[in-house]
Structure 1
Amino acid sequence: MSDGVELPPHRFAGLIAPAIDRVFVAGMLAGRDGGGAELSSRYGGPAATGFLVELRTRLATPGGTVSGPGFAAVTRYRDPATCQRTLDKQVAYGMLQRVPDGGLCATERGLAFLAELWQLHAEVTEELWAGHDDRVGRLVPTLGRLLAYALVLAESDEPGAFAAMAPPHEPAGAPAAVLLLNRLSALRYHRADAHAAAWAAAGHTATSIAGLPPGPERLAIEQETDRRAAGPYAVLTAEERLVMLADLSALPG
C-alpha cells in the first residue's frame, strides 16, 4: 500500500463513520449487558445515571464540567425542556450538580459511579476484543492522533459537542480497550458537529433534518458532512487510513 491509494480524507470520513459507530455501540452494549444495568440500579437507575453515562468522558475528569452550550450541542436532537427536567432529577438524586455558568459536573457520588463504570467498561471491552490486541494496540494511538488534531481544528470553530466531550478522561494505567471505547466516543461527536453544521447550512433545524427522507437533498447533506468531518483524517497517510478501517472492521461487535 502507498499514499497513492485513492482514499482522500473526505471519502474516508464517510467510510469510517459506520465502522466507528458499530464498534462503539458494541462496547457500550457489552457494558450494559455485562453489569451496567445492575450498576446503574445501585445508584438509582437510569433516572439517576443517564447523563453521567452519556457525558462520562468529560465528567469523569477531576474537576470536569460540561457547559450549558456544550450540553445543548450534545442533546441537540432532544427536547430541551425534557432534558432539563431529566437533569433536575439527576441533581435531586445527588449524582450531578449545576455550576454557576449554567453547566454541570459530577458530585462525589456521581464520580464514584463513574469510577465503577470505568472499571466495568475495562472488563467488558477486554473480553469483547480478546485476541485482537494488535488491532486495539494500533487503533488507540491512531485515534489519539486524530483527536489531538481535531482539537486543534476545533479551536477556530463554534463550541459544539466535540469541544464539550474531548479529550476523554484517561487516567494513568487505563487499559487499551477502554481507551479505544472512549476515544471512539469522543471522535463520534466530531462528526456529529460536522453533520449539524451541514444541515444548518442547508437551512434545516434539528427537527426538520430528522424528518428528511432519503433523496438528493439528504445525500448532499451527507456529502457535506463528510467534507466537514474530514479534517482530522488528513493527519493520517492513505495507508494508515486503510489500516484503521481494516482494524475497526475486524473487531467483534
Structure 2
Amino acid sequence: METTVSYARMIRPAIDRVYVGARWAARARMEKFYAERGADLGFENSFFSGVLARPMPADALADGLAYTDGDLSRELAQGVATVDAEGAWHLTELGRELARYAQRATAEAAGELWSAMPGMLPGLGVVPRLADLVGRVLVHGQATGGPAFRAMSPPYEPDDASPVLLLVTRLGSLRHHRADAHRAAWRAAGLTADGIRALPDGPERAAIEAETDRRDEPAYAVLSDAERWELLAGLAALPG
C-alpha cells in the first residue's frame, strides 16, 4: 500500500478503540463475576485469548507486563495460576473459569455496542468479514511476531464462538504484534520501559515509531490493498 504513513500505524488506533471499548464496556460485569469467586482481575483477564490456548512462557508474560510492576502474587495467592519449573504460567480450573468468562463478557459487551447503531452503518453485519480478515493477518504474522504475540496466537476460540467473539478475541491477539514490534524498537535504541515512557516527542521517538511500523507492517502483507482498506474502514465504523 503506497502511503506516506504506514498502514500498520493507521490501523492501530482503530484496533485499539474497538477492542478497548469492548473491554471497558464489559468491566463491571467481569468485576462482579470475579468478586463472587473471591478473585481480582489479573493477567488471565488481559491475556485470555492466548493463555486459554496454552501456558504463557515467562519471557512472553514479562514482555506483556513490561509497562507494569509485573507483580503476579495475587494470581498465585488466589489460586488462579501456577508456575512450572521452566517459569511458564498455567491456569488452574478457577483461572480457566475466569478467563473464559472474560472472553464471553467482552464479546457480549461488544455485541451490545455494535448492535445499537443507526441503520445506515454496518454494525454487526460486517463483523464476520472483519473476523476473517483479522484471522488471516494473525496467521501471516506468525513469521514476524515476537514472544508475546506467539504466546497469544493462534488465539483460543471455542467451537461455538460467534463472529463477535472471534473478532474481539483475534483483535486482542493482534495488538501484541505491534506491542512486540514497539518493544523491539525501543530496546534496539538502548532504552528501557521507563526510558520510552519518559522520551519526549522528537527525532529519537519518531525514529522508534518508524522502526515499530517497519516491524509491524509485514503482518498485513497477506491482505490485498482493497482488503486492507476494507478492514480499516470496517473497524472505524464500529463504535468503541
SS of 1:249's equivalent in the other structure is: helix
CA distance in 2, matches of 1:216, 1:7: 20
1:56-96 deviation digits (Å, cap 9, x = unpaired): 112222xx2001111111112223xxx2xx42221121111
CA distance in 2, matches of 1:185, 1:208: 26
Q: 1:112 aligns with which of 97, 117, 127?
A: 97
CA distance in 1, matches of 2:144, 2:234: 25
Tell me the equivalent position of 2:135. Answer: 144
Tell me the equivalent position of 2:6. Answer: 11
Deviation (angstroms), 1:133: 2.2
Tell me the equivalent position of 2:120. Answer: none
Counterpart residue type for residue 132 of structure 2: P
List, as ranges, runs of 4+ consecutive aligned residues in structure 1 with deviation greater than 6 Å: none
CA distance in 1, matches of 2:235, 2:101: 26
Tell me the equivalent position of 1:67. Answer: 57
Deviation (angstroms), 1:106: 0.7
Residues 39 and 117 of structure 1 are in contact (CA less than 8 Å); yes or no, is this contact kept in structure 2?
no
CA distance in 2, matches of 1:93, 1:210: 31
Counterpart residue type for residue 175 of structure 2: R
CA distance in 2, matches of 1:88, 1:103: 15
Tell me the equivalent position of 2:176. Answer: 189
1:119-144 deviation digits (Å, cap 9, x = unpaired): 32232221111161222121100000
Residues 150 and 232 of structure 1 are in contact (CA less than 8 Å); yes or no, is this contact kept in structure 2?
yes
Tell me the equivalent position of 1:87. Answer: 72
Indicate whether 1:76 and 2:70 are aligned: no
Tell me the equivalent position of 1:43. Answer: 37
CA distance in 2, matches of 1:245, 1:122: 20
Tell me the equivalent position of 1:239. Answer: 226
What is the count of residue pairs matched by the alignment?
234
SS of 1:30's equivalent in the other structure is: helix
Tell me the equivalent position of 1:165. Answer: 152
1:208-239 deviation digits (Å, cap 9, x = unpaired): 11100111211111111111100011111111
Q: Which moved more, 1:70-79 or 1:126-135?
A: 126-135
Unaligned runs of 5+ in 2: 118-122
CA distance in 2, matches of 1:91, 1:203: 33
Residues 7 and 238 of structure 1 are in contact (CA less than 8 Å); yes or no, is this contact kept in structure 2?
no
Deviation (angstroms), 1:18: 0.8
What's the Cα RMSD here? Answer: 1.7
Residues 134 and 170 of structure 2 are in contact (CA less than 8 Å); yes or no, is this contact kept in structure 1?
yes
CA distance in 2, matches of 1:242, 1:11: 13
Q: 2:202 aligns with which of 201, 204, 215?
A: 215
Deviation (angstroms), 1:44: 2.3
Counterpart residue type for residue 201 of structure 2: P
Unaligned runs of 5+ in 1: none
Quick one: structure 1 residues 143 and 17, their matched pair in 2 at CA, closer, same or farther if it must change by over 3 Å?
A: same
1:133-177 deviation digits (Å, cap 9, x = unpaired): 2221211000000000001334xxxx5211121111001110111
